[in-house]
Amino acid sequence: MPRMQILGAVERQEFDAPPFFTSLQRKRDFDFSRGVRALAGQLRGPTNRVLFLVSFGYFKATHRFYLSDQFQRQGIDVRHTQ
């Protein structure tokens, strides 16, 4: 018996992609506590720190993980990882 299709191809792609945030949502979901920043600071290299923080922000907002090549550019601000 075939699987039931709930979402079409475009809807499925949209569901699997990280959301676009407004500036207010970015400020809320990408505002990290000192503890989270300390954890990121223990990671080796700025790339790993940025990927950790962006993943954390997306998870905080949607309770889901996304592939790093799907991240929105405005969610990445290297100045906060140093």
pLDDT for 18-61, tens place per residue?
A: 888 888 988 899 899 999 999 999 999 998 998 899 899 989 99
- Contact yes or no for 27/47 (Cβ under 8 A): no
Residue 82: the pLDDT is: 45
**Distance (Å, whole) CA 26 – CA 3:** 37
Phi-psi category of 63—alpha, beta or left, where left has phi over 0 and alpha has psi -120 to 50? left
| pLDDT number for residue 68 | 81
The single-letter DSSP state of residue 70 is G
pLDDT score at 69: 79
For residue 9, give Cα distances in angstroms to 2, 5, 12, 43, 68: 16, 10, 5, 37, 21
Bigger pLDDT: 27 vs 71: 27
pLDDT number for residue 2: 67
pLDDT at 81: 44
What pLDDT does residue 12 have?
A: 86
